[in-house]
Amino acid sequence: GVRIIKFYAWEKPFGKEVGKVREKELQALTKLAYTSAVGFSLILLSAPIIQPILVFLTYINIQDDPLTASTAFTTVALFNIMRFPFAFLPMGMLQFIQSRISLRRLGKYLRLPELEPYVLPESPPDNANVSSSKGEGEIGSISMSNCSFAWVHPERAVTPLEDRNAKKKEKKRGSNGGDMNASRRGSRLSLSRRSSRRSQGDEDGAGRGSLGGTTHSGVSLGSDIEGSQRGADPVTLKDISLNIAPGSLVAVVGTVGSGKSSLLSAILGEMEPLDEARVYLPRDDLGEKVAVERTNFVSYCSQTPWVVNDTLRGNILFGRPFHQARYDQVVKACALVDDLSVLPAGDATEIGEKGINLSGGQKARVSLARALYSSDARVLLLDDPLSAVDAHVGEHLFKEAISGQASKGMTTILVTHHVHVLPRCDKVLVMEGGRIQHQGTYQELIDRGVDFAGAVDVTKKEEDDKEEKGDKEEKKDGAKTEEMKAEKSEKKDGEDGGKGSAESLKRKGEEGGADKGDGNKKASGALVKKEEREEGAVVGSLYLHYARAGGLLSFISLVFIQGLGRGAEIMASFWLSLWAERAVSASMRDDPMGDDETTWHLNIYAAFGMLSVACLTGRSVVMAVHRLHASRKLHENLVSSVLRAPVAFFDVTPTGRILGRFAADMDKIDLDLTQSIGQGFSTIFSVLGALGAIVAATKGTFLIPLAPISYVYYVIQKWFRRTSTELQRVTAIAISPIFADFSQVLSGTSTIRAYGGQDRFFKKCQSSFDSFNASYNLQQMCNFWLGLRLDILGGCIGGFIGAIAVATSSANFIPAGWLGLALSYAIEVTGYLKHGVRMIAQVEADMNSVERVLFYSDNIDSEAPDVIPGKDPVGEWPSKGKVEIKHASMRYRDGPLVLKDITLTVKGGEKIGVVGRTGSGKSSLMNLLFRITEPEPDGGKVIIDGVDTSQIGTEALRLNLSIIPQDPVMFSNSVRYNLDPFGSSTDEQLWDVLRKVQLAEVIAALPQGLEDQVAEGGENFSQGQRQLLCIARSLLRNPKILVMDEATASIDNATDAMIQSMIRENFSDATVLTIAHRLGTIMDSDRVLVLDDGRIAEFDSPKALLEMEGGIFRAMVEKSREAHGTEED
């Protein structure tokens, strides 16, 4: 969705939305921080200091014997031994609470019902009420009778995750934009079984909105989206009876929301069967062979192509063995040969996360090639793959791939809007409202009076278009007339299987490719760069940066309070020694201390102790303040930097890598870092204080072994710190693939299950976890290594002091009280040494998270300023919509020029169609207009209504333009927010635009209307509905310049015709630039811009271009007609 955020200049509202969620998280962190500071520090950490005071008070009141050094320091030593258990007790309690919460959340997820296996690999029984047909019960046939399916079973509409009281639910809905606390733990888990295939582009949406007559209830951790549509009928497919003979080709047609994609999902076993519904897919690989080969029985091509971050060959093979002949056949049938020839590493080229290195049509052809590659597959399910390619490539795919040798012997079900292919199908299913309204051969349905034009209606204006005069065929059959005209399409990045398509792939690789001079990377076909990682010790400036983020004053106060507190503890110990010596001396003189003198000594001791407790509590409070300020500042800078990053950054950066910063790294900063720093300071001061006390108590003799002991200690901690810091960096990097793999698998679950790839992807995810655990386990081994050596070192210290005590006992060189104090601190210093090194190393390791966050905050490129005071236009701008481009050239990163010396003028209010083959520069022209990519230095300029757009802020520019993209993007928030994130429109205005796109009834049917929540990725709306909502979004902005980037590619022709009519009516005064989807939609444009290899090849009225001999546009129209010649014959 980042491209939409950029196109619409939504960085600020989305930053505020993230900030709101973050503020709630910080509120929880604040409670935790102050509870820990006041509660745990005051009660638990101060216990070893307060308890000796109480013990000594009790002792002098009930014992007649004086307080001796041996008694005093034995007591102090015993309580000091308890210091670490008391210190770790609160941390252990916190870990226990957090673990309990995590286990409870996991438990809710694991208790959710599993998919019920209702697809049976057998023939239907005699009593299955399945009407007999040719091939029924044979291998490769598909049968079902009166079956109904839902995305969520009505009896389970309320799941364990929804079992909350109404008050909590309402409160939760109010903050449904996201749960950062949950995301920090590892990304939100979409639990609904339909979520994965929805995200792959379930266009029909019969289970999601009123267009299909039904809705569904999803289940998501951290949200109440699952309840947002609970009021409607949850049944998606109703009374489905179907018999498909093996080897036949069946087409499924219907309007948006009719249930086409859901029918494929039902056959895949992805839905909830109602009333014991069963799907029968007889097969011959039962018994022992099932576990090995059943995964190849069904192949599936989702509507929105799902590709993995792998090589192109890896995406086609999808874990199956490589067979050269079959591979070559499939690549040729899917028109990929020329694309492979120009790739940097051929089919070994990495295509990037979510296929960013490919155009939409290329991804569709790769997905189709994957489905066809398995020669063992007997059933082929294709969800509208032809909509992603232009007419003549679609014809090639239909002839060679779908109905040709590549799919010979397969039972194929093809969901399509392309009605011209229906006569060549063995059977046609017409769906409406989740039911099969008609089925039979194309001719049988025509004879019954089925009006296919009703599902793929086109405008009457198109019928009378003058530019269609070259089409000499007079259509006698109304249905055929509509079919032919509806199919004169030129799809996004129209693939012809030739040079243009290949050049686009090459250009996209350069757009998102490696840094300058990285020739090896380009040669190897790699796209995503290896994650950056610092080496060596953490630089000192990093500590200063973190200190400033939380406030230098609080950081300095922390150091001062820590030193003061430790000094008070040491003074208390010396005072105790002095007290014991005086008590013993007075007893030996038969003049024991009086009560007043004893009380005075005790009060002084208690005063030092209470000062230490106050400092301990103050330190914890200051730490909490610093932690919260630093976390807020670092997170704000990170969000701002990422939102201001150019689109190219997201192309080459995996999602998991970005999530790693916001999740794992911010988690370290929020919870661990300040605590580690506090403990690090505490142990440093404790070690220094203890060693100083030992030196003083032994009258300087301890200085003799101190130098070699310090050297050994330095060497040990140096080795440990270096290793621990590097391991922490490795661990931090190892988290990113976990997020990336999980996100990838979650979005493609249905495809993975269709191909039986669960084990392979499970092992891949497991491998990522193993890599993370390996580095984490090595960190723990390092701790054990350190502990052993520091225990030996501590023993040496204690042994030396004991030796001094024995050697000087007769001479009374050192008073007994001081020896007791020295031995007490010797016992203590061993623990401090171990904990001190660990904490110093832990601080350095945790600072790696600050390092990673600051890298994204300070080092990634930023777009041009969003606001330029004094230069941004004021008032109504643009008022006319005139666009001038003067000698503009543009390239992506360090690649070749993709736009070359573009010069054109578009008058205000003109309607311009933009066409061209793949790689010609159509989308690049739109990127130039919106400044998504800047033109070359001295490479021309774009002027809108007399204003040079390079001289104004990006926000001022983009807020006054609008775009309707091909891929509709919805965000996890309310419907209102998705339409108007700025909150600047009234309810009346919102309902008005919804009525214009015919979605008012759909939204009104939702329980909360405009406030109802949109699921992640918009999965509770169909593909077509999401596109209509995006069009409503542009209507609301009422721009003077509108760009339509093939906005009707994912919807049927009837809806397309409605949208074209609506746009002509509502944007009559606006300048409209339309990247052509169907050539018929731009035939009534004022002019058509034809791009070729980044240059303007033709720019004139459609009529003039059609009359131009040898013209590119004329050739495209003729080629489109030739692609449909089969039907005319």
Clarify whether residues 924 and 812 are in a common domain: no
- Per-residue model confidence (pLDDT) at position 165: 39
Q: Is residue 639 part of a domain?
A: yes
| Same-domain status, 552 and 436 | no
Nearest to 277 by CA among 243, 240, 244, 236: 240
838 and 903 fall within a common domain: no
Which tokens belong to 752?
């993975």
Which of 47-61, 397-411, 683-697, 1044-1058 has the highest average model confidence (pLDDT)? 397-411
Q: Among 771, 767, 769, 765, which residue's Cα sits nearest to residue 744?
A: 765
The pLDDT of residue 796 is above 50: yes
pLDDT at 81 over 80: no
Q: Answer yes or no: is 1082 within a domain.
A: yes
Asked which of 424, 441, 458 is the last residue of a domain, the reply is 441
How many structural domains compose the chain? 3
Average pLDDT, the chain: 76
Domain check: are 551 and 421 in the same one? no
Q: In this structure, is residue 179 part of a structural domain?
A: no
Q: Residues near 110 by Cβ (< 8 Å), separated by ≥ 6?
A: none
Residue found by looking up tokens 């491998």 in the block: 767
Last residue of a domain, one of 812, 830, 858: 858
The winner for highest mean pLDDT among 84-93, 611-620, 678-687, 813-822 is 611-620
| 799 and 923 assigned to the same domain | no
Query: First and final CA of the chain: distance in angstroms?
Result: 45
| Across 678-707, average pLDDT | 81
Mean pLDDT of 539-567: 86
Beta strands, E only, 883-1004: 883-891, 897-906, 911-916, 941-944, 947-948, 962-964
pLDDT of 1102 above 70: yes
**448, part of any domain:** no
Residue 7: pLDDT over 80? yes
Tell me: do 797 and 879 sit in the same domain.
Answer: no
Mean pLDDT of 962-981: 85
Neighbours of 499 (CB within 10 A): 16
Q: Is the peptide bond before 117 cis (omega within 30 degrees of 0)?
A: no
Q: How confident is the model at residue 184 (pLDDT cuts 50, 70, 90)?
A: very low
Q: Which domain holds residue 956?
A: 864-961+1042-1053+1071-1129
* 81 DSSP assignment: H
Q: Is the pLDDT of residue 206 over 50?
A: no
DSSP character at residue 215: -
The predicted pLDDT at position 710 comes to: 84
Which pLDDT belongs to residue 1125?
52
659 is written with which tokens?
């999530």
Q: Is 429 helix (H, G, I), strand (E, B) or coil?
A: strand
Cα distance between residue 968 and residue 1, in whole Å: 9
Low-confidence winner among 169-183, 247-261, 447-461 (lowest mean pLDDT)? 169-183
Are 1086 and 1127 contained in the same domain?
A: yes
Phi, psi of 900 (to 5 degrees): -130, 105
Asked if residue 430 and residue 284 are part of one domain, the reply reads yes
pLDDT score, position 533: 56
Sign of the CA dihedral running 1030, 1032, 1034, 1037: negative
Q: What is the pLDDT of residue 169?
A: 40
- Residue that terminates a domain, selected from 441, 473, 501: 441
Looking at residue 921, what is its pLDDT? 84
**Is the predicted pLDDT of residue 985 greater than 80, yes or no?**
yes
Q: Are residues 896 and 822 in the same domain?
A: no
Return the pLDDT at 128: 53
Residue 843: predicted pLDDT: 84
For residue 778, give both structure tokens: 């090595």
Q: Which is higher by pLDDT, 82 or 483?
A: 82
Least confident of 321-335, 414-428, 910-924: 910-924
Asked if residue 785 and residue 666 are part of one domain, the reply reads yes
Tokens standing for residue 133? 């047909």
64 assigned to some structural domain = yes
Q: Which long-range contacts (CB under 8 A, 24 or more apart) does 9-13 make?
A: 9/866, 9/954, 9/955, 9/957, 9/958, 9/959, 10/981, 11/643, 11/644, 11/866, 11/955, 12/866, 12/955, 13/981, 13/982
Residue 1099: its pLDDT value, please?
94
Does some domain include residue 707?
yes
CA 131 to chain centre: 47
> Both 732 and 678 in a single domain?
yes
Residues 770 and 889 grouped into a single domain: no
Q: What pLDDT does residue 118 have?
A: 87
Q: What is the pLDDT of residue 905?
A: 94
Q: d(Cα 703, Cα 800) in Å, to the nearest integer? A: 11
Across residues 875-887, what is the average pLDDT?
Answer: 90
H/E segment holding residue 415: strand 411-415
Distances (CA, A) of 283 to 241, 468, 754, 974: 20, 50, 15, 46
- pTM, whole model, 2 decimals? 0.64
Which CATH number do you get for residue 953?
3.40.50.300
Binning pLDDT at 50, 70 and 90, where does residue 428 land?
Answer: very high
| 812: CATH | 1.20.1560.10
Amino acid residing at 129: N
List, for residues 512-536, the tens digit of each pLDDT value: 333 333 334 344 445 555 555 555 5
121 in a domain, yes or no? no
pLDDT for residue 127: 55
Q: Which helix (H) or strand (E) holds 488?
A: none
Once rounded to an integer, what is the mean pLDDT over residues 764-792?
87
Q: Side-chain half-sphere of 206: how many Cα atoms within 13 Å?
A: 26
Angstrom distance (rounded) from CA 271 to CA 434: 13
Pairing of strands 947-948, 941-944: antiparallel
3 state SS of 233 = coil
Instruction: Return the structure tokens found at 779.
Output: 């960190």
Looking at this protein, which amino acid is placed at residue 932?
I
The total number of residues written for the chain in this structure: 1129
The answer to whether residue 708 sits within a structural domain is yes
If pLDDT is split at 50, 70 and 90, which confidence band does 461 have?
A: very low
Given a cut of 60, is residue 185 above it in pLDDT? no
pLDDT of residue 508: 42
